[in-house]
Amino acid sequence: MKLAEKIKKKKIRSAVIGLGYVGLPLVTELAEAGVEVVGIDLDKRKVDSINNKKSYIQDVPTERLKGLVSRGMISATTCYSALRNVDTVNICVPTPLRKTKEPDISYIVKSAEQIAKYIRKGQLIILESTTYPGTTDEVLLPMFEAKGLKVGKDFYLAFSPERVDPGNPIYNTKNIPRVVGGITPACTEAAVALYGLAIDNVFPVSSTRVAESVKLLENTFRSVNIGLVNELALMCDKMNIDVWEVIDAAKTKPFGFMAFYPGPGLGGHCIPIDPFYLAWKARLFGFEARFIELAGQINRAMPEYVVSRVSDALNEKGKSVKGSKILVLGVAYKKDVSDCRESPAFEIMQFLNAKGAQVSYYDPYVAKAEGNGVKMKRTKLTRQTLKKNDCVVLVTAHSNFNYEFIVKNAKLIFDTRDAVKVKNSKVVKL
C-alpha cells in the first residue's frame, strides 16, 4: 500500500522529535486524530512529565494529555531507537541564531543524524523547525540519501512551517492552515495526507524551498511593520503626537491598512530571529536584505529607548534613574503567556540596573526572571509595592492586570503598550 493511503487509513505510527511549544501540541493533535505517537526529546524532564500525564505547555491542558497517554496514544522517550517502529517523523527542534546573527541549525542536524541511523524504506520525514530556504534539500536530503535510499520512492521528505501562536485563544495547531512542500510530488502527497488527519486546512506548495520561505516572509512582514511603527512612535514623540491615537484612527480604513503597534522591543522565538535566517541565506547569493536589517536595527534599539524615556519621565518629577526604585510589570515576551525567550524586559531591567536603579518586577506568569544578566524572584503586586516605587514600567500588558488599582497607587507609570487607558498626569505613554 502507498504511504499516503496507509496514512489516510490511519494504519501508521508517528514520531515527533522536540516536545516544546511546537512539538507537544502536534503530538496531541495527531493522537486525537487516532494516530499512535511517540514523542522524542533529549530533555528527560519533559519526557517524564508526559509519561506522568502532566503537561508543561499552556496550550495543551493536562486533562487532554492525560486521557491520550492513559489510552496508549501518546508516549515519550529520550531514545531515538523508537524511530524503528514509526512511519512518519516530524522534526520540531529549536533553530536559534548564533551571536553573529547566523543561523544555528545544529539541533536539526543532530536530530537528522539520529534519523539517518534508523531510516528505513517507506518512512516520511517532515521538518517543521523554522529555517532558511534550502535546509531540507541541501542539508537533510543528502544525509538520508547517503543511506542508499531514493527520495520520493524509498522514503519521503517534506518541509512544513509551524505557525502556532502560543497562548492564542482562537488559533491553534489544528485550525491554523498548514503549508506543505515536498521534495517530490509523492513527498508532498504523503505529508498532505498526514496533516489532513489532524489539521483543518492543508495548502500544498511546489517545493520545500517555497514552504521554508513562507514562514520567513510571514515573520519578516511582522518585523518590518513593527519596525515601521516603532519608528513612527519615535517621530511622534518628537512632534508631540499620540502615536496610539494615530494608529487607532488609521485602522478605521477598511482596506489597505493593517494595524501594528509600537512596543518595548521584539521578543519570542520567531520575530527577532527568523528574518535573519532569510537575510543570511540571501547574503550567500550576494543580496543584502535591507528592510530586514533596518527593521532589526530599529526594533533592537527599543529597550534602550524605553529606558531613556523612563529617565525623562523621572526627570520631570525631579528624580534621577540612579537611586530610584523601579518596578517592571510583565516580563514574558507577550501578554498572557509565561514564555520569556528574547523578552525585551530583561534588557530594560539590565539597562536600568546599569544606571543605578533598584529594579524589581512582577509578572503573574513568571516566578523567577533569568536572562541578560538579570536573575531575580518576582515581588508581590500590592498597594505598598506600588507606593514605594518611584516608577512602574509596564512592559507586558497581561490581561489580568488591574490598571485602576495600579494607577491609583503608583507614583508614575511608563506604559509601553497603551494598556493603561486612564488619562492621568502620572501616566506617560511610549
Ligand X SMILES: NC(=O)c1ccc[n+]([C@@H]2O[C@H](COP(=O)([O-])OP(=O)(O)OC[C@H]3O[C@@H](n4cnc5c(N)ncnc54)[C@H](O)[C@@H]3O)[C@@H](O)[C@H]2O)c1
* Contacting positions for ligand X (CB under 6 A): 17-23, 40-43, 46, 92-95, 107, 110-111, 129-130, 162-164, 166, 269-270
Closer by beta carbon to ligand X, 271 or else 349: 271
In the chain, the largest separation of any two C-alpha atoms, in whole Å, equals 78
CB-based burial of residue 114 (10 Å sphere; 0-12 exposed, 13-18 middle, 19+ buried)? middle
* Least gap, CB of 202 to ligand X (angstroms): 17
Computed from CA positions of residues 68, 70, 72, 74, in that sequence, does the dihedral angle turn out positive or negative?
positive
Query: What's the one-letter identity of residue 200?
Result: D
Are 103 and 79 in contact, with CB atoms under 8 Å apart? no
List, in sequence order, every beta strand (DSSP E) within 211-343: 325-329
Q: CB 429 → ligand X: shortest distance, Å?
A: 28
Least distance between ligand X and beta carbon 328 (Å): 23
Q: Please report the sign of the dihedral spanned by the C-alpha atoms of residue 193, residue 195, residue 198, residue 199.
A: negative
Q: 155 - beta bridge partners?
A: 151
Q: Which amino acid, 410?
A: A
Between 27 and 393, whose beta carbon lies closer to ligand X?
A: 27
**CB 17 to ligand X: min, Å:** 5
Paired strand residues for 156: 124
Q: What is the 3-state secondary structure (H, E, C) of 174-195?
A: CCCCEEEEECCHHHHHHHHHHH
Entry field: residues in the chain: 430
| Residue closer to ligand X (CB basis): 44 or 251 | 44
**What's the min distance (Å) between Cβ of 57 and ligand X?**
8
Pick 130 or 324: Cβ nearer ligand X: 130
Query: Do 319 and 312 contact (CB within 8 A), yes or no?
Result: no
Task: Decide the pairing of beta strands 391-394 and 413-415.
Answer: parallel
Residue closer to ligand X (CB basis): 17 or 310: 17
Contact 180, 130 (CB under 8 A): no
* Nearest-CB residue for ligand X: 20
Is residue 92 flagged as an active site residue?
no
Using the minimum distance from each CB to ligand X, give the nearer residue, 346 or 403: 346
Which one of the listed residues 92, 187, 236, 270 is annotated catalytic? 270
* Cβ 339 to ligand X shortest distance, Å: 7
Residues identified as active-site: 270
